Amino acid sequence: MSADVLLEVVGVGKRYPRVHRRMDRVRSVLDAILNRPYRAHAQILQDIDFTLKRGESLALIGENGAGKSTLLRMICGIAEPSAGSVRLRGTVAPLLELGAGFHPDYSGRDNIRMNALLLGMASSEIDAKVQQVIDFAELGDYIDEPVKHYSSGMKVRLGFAVVASARPDLLITDEVLAVGDESFQKKCIAWIEEYLRDGGTLLLVSHSMYHVQKLCKHALWLHHGRVEAYGDVFDVSQRYLAWHERKTAQRRAEERLTMATGDYAVSAVAINGEDRDTPVTLPIHALLDVDVSLHSADGRPPVLAVGIKRHDGTPVYGVSSELDGVAPIRVSDQSYRFSIRYPELSLLPGTYTVALHAMDPEAIRLFDTVERTIVVTGRSREVGLVRLPHQWHRA
Amino acid sequence: MKSTQLAMALLGRELRERYLSTFAGLAWVLITPVMLLAIYAFVFVELLGARFGNRVGGDVIAFLALGMWPWHAFADSLARGTSALTGNAALIGQIAIPRVWLVLVPTLGAALIHTASFVLVLLILLIMGRLQMGAGAWVAMVAYGLIVVNAAALSLLLAPLNVFFRDVGTLLPQILTFWMLLTPIFFDRALLRADLGEWLALNPMTGLVEALRAGLLHDQVDLTTLYSPLLFTLVLTLCSVIAARRFLARIEDFL
């Protein structure tokens, strides 16, 4: 481990024993007593490798249950790795859970002392810094009240203030910044930025990509307990967000099929090839292609109605396959597809909604609606919604 | 140095917690033994007219007190130590705190309170002229120290086992009651049938309680009575430390 490396995580894995059934518990305890791997277990983390040099900032991102908190707990020394090793060369201050380590019956002042001791501070150092902590936490007279009377935001403020006073080599935070009020969040972020400028090292867990990209230079994406991506914060966080959007769109489509009120539902939509539920940007007079897949429970070909409206809800134009006498393309027994093209979209610059409605074959009942946003860009001082073809005549 | 400060702070908190929200606070350490001595005197001497051999009246109280206080120190310390990890499950999952202290702090905290109480009882008995403070007092002190060490060692062994199987904590009060009845607290082993007395000598607490009593009541200095309890304490402590090193690393998996 070279001198500038503060944290080295090598081949780390974590297994938790299954203990709900009596015999599984007996087996697991026996494994623990004999110091061997658990036979009945849940694998939470596997093959985690990364290093953190002094002065670096790393974000751990991933879905809930990906193993982020477990990894942090092993780095902090709360949990033992089942495989691999965690080597830390320096002091660490974790902010893992709201009010962690605070005794509810003791005052904020008493808890400052105990928390600071747990962070490895000496009594003399604590005495010198108590007032600084109280000032940072902005708790006023509440500092002498029992912590059980504190709000969640007050607990975070006190916890952060103690950690800030400790000036650790490695600061670890796990979503706790999401709890405090906005002004204290700003104060904490400003403190972390200063801490990083002064050579501090940060390990941050957050679902806020704003905080991740603002505070960290590197990111590690954990997926199902394994490293999915590790590198530059923008590359990794954008890959994660793209995956997340795909997953959300897929889930929504599945939910739509199961939640649609009747037999016909919109199962997929692509605007100019973009199948995610994100705004599609196109210049004025551009081509607009809308591809729609419809689900038909009874197998009969449904009708598609397409409407375009301004973002405030003002209708612009609507048409249906029944009006135009167009039949869908049959994809399978219960699946049909429509494609509609607007070759030269004459919408003026602005934000619009494309609404897709699934209707029965008789075009009487509307069963399902999906909406997508399009943003038309361009330079124009014209007024209204659409550019109407026109000619000026000089008498 | 910092570790010592943390251990002392945890111990201070443990002591405060026991009397937090009580009106008398730490004064209970003094009130309890005086009250208990008065109750023993009333029940055993006045109501039951108890006698152990040729011991009557105040001698009976002294005999009982020198057995019961060390036993309570042992039993309460062990009970608190055994439940320390399950009782602090949330804390163990939140912060990195040396787990061995989580066990030893409540154990030693309880021992400290009982010791303070015991010292007061000894003072009262001394004033009553029931004790002899000679060289035998040193033997008694060693015996008492070994009782506390045994409680700490057993706590280190049982606390993680209680995490693995909560049955340990459920069974412990029954076991302690049975163990107390096998220890010469309410009886004098010399007055029992010889073979029964020999069997009871296998109980390590028997030797310790008797050495303590002999030292304080008769100023008896017979170090040989401490040999087997000392050996037992050493073996138990060694086994507990080895087991605790292995078990404590895994307890978070079971909490």
Give yes or no for B4 touching A (CB within 8 A). Answer: no
Residues of CATH 2.70.50.60 domain(s) within chain A? 261-377
Please give the structure tokens belonging to residue A368: 């399902």
A contacts of B12 (beta carbons < 8 Å): none
Give yes or no for A94 touching B (CB within 8 A). Answer: yes
Position A232 scores a pLDDT of 92
Nearest Cα to Cα of residue A220 among A207, A233, A211:
A233
B54 pLDDT higher than 80 = no
Position A180 scores a pLDDT of 66
Inter-chain residue contact B13 with A106, CB threshold 8 Å: yes
A347 secondary structure, DSSP code: B
Position A177 scores a pLDDT of 67
Position A246 scores a pLDDT of 73
Query: Residues near A3 by Cβ (< 8 Å), separated by ≥ 6?
Result: none
Q: A299 vs A295, A331, A332, A333, A334, CA distance in Å?
A: 8, 11, 9, 6, 5
ipTM over 0.85: no
Distance separating alpha carbons of residues A121 and A98, to the nearest angstrom: 21
Alpha helices in chain A (DSSP H): 22-33, 68-76, 108-118, 123-137, 152-166, 182-197, 209-215, 233-259, 321-324
Position A290 scores a pLDDT of 96
Given pLDDT bands bounded at 50, 70 and 90, which one contains residue B47?
Answer: confident
Inter-chain residue contact B2 with A120, CB threshold 8 Å: yes
State how far residue A122 is from chain B, nearest Cα, in angstroms.
5
Nearest Cα to Cα of residue B155 among B41, B57, B77, B96:
B77
Give yes or no for B42 touching A (CB within 8 A). Answer: no
Position B236 scores a pLDDT of 96
- The domain A261-377 is placed in CATH, from the list 2.70.50.60, 3.30.70.1450, 3.30.70.20, 1.10.3720.10, at 2.70.50.60
Are B148 and B111 in contact, with CB atoms under 8 Å apart? yes
- Least trusted range by pLDDT, from A254-263, B207-216, B224-233: A254-263
Mutate to test the interface with A, among B252, B253, B255 (most CBs of A within 10 A): B253
β-strand pairing of A264-271 with A288-296: antiparallel
Q: In what order do the strands lie in the sheet with A329-332?
A: A264-271, A288-296, A335-342, A329-332
φ, ψ of residue A368 to 5 degrees: the values are -155, 150
Reported as a single tens digit per residue, the pLDDT across B167-205 is 999 999 999 999 999 999 988 888 888 899 899 999 999
Q: In what order do the strands lie in the sheet with A350-359?
A: A280-283, A366-377, A350-359, A303-310, A315-320
Written as one string, the DSSP assignment of A249-303 is: HHHHHHHHHHH-SSSEEEEEEEETTB-SSSPEEEETT--EEEEEEEEETT-PPPE
State how far residue B9 is from chain A, nearest Cα, in angstroms.
7
Q: B7 vs A107, B158, B242, CA distance in Å?
A: 20, 21, 21
Mean pLDDT by 10 residues, chain A (395 residues): 86 92 88 87 94 94 92 92 93 81 87 88 89 89 91 87 90 76 82 91 89 91 94 89 76 62 84 87 92 93 94 88 94 94 91 92 89 86 86 84
φ, ψ of residue A82 to 5 degrees: the values are -80, -25
Q: Count the neighbouring beta carbons within 10 Å of the beta carbon of residue B80.
A: 23
> What are the extents of the domains in chain B?
2-254
Distance separating alpha carbons of residues A50 and A60, to the nearest angstrom: 11
What are the beta bridge partners of residue A358? A304, A368
Please give the structure tokens belonging to residue B17: 């917690």
CATH 3.40.50.2300 matches A54-242: no
B138 pLDDT higher than 70 = yes
State how far residue A96 is from chain B, nearest Cα, in angstroms.
7
A328 secondary structure, DSSP code: P
A259 vs B250: which has the higher pLDDT: B250
A contacts of B92 (beta carbons < 8 Å): 78
B145 pLDDT higher than 60 = yes
Distance separating alpha carbons of residues A382 and A377, to the nearest angstrom: 13
State how far residue B239 is from chain A, nearest Cα, in angstroms.
13
Distance separating alpha carbons of residues A302 and A262, to the nearest angstrom: 12
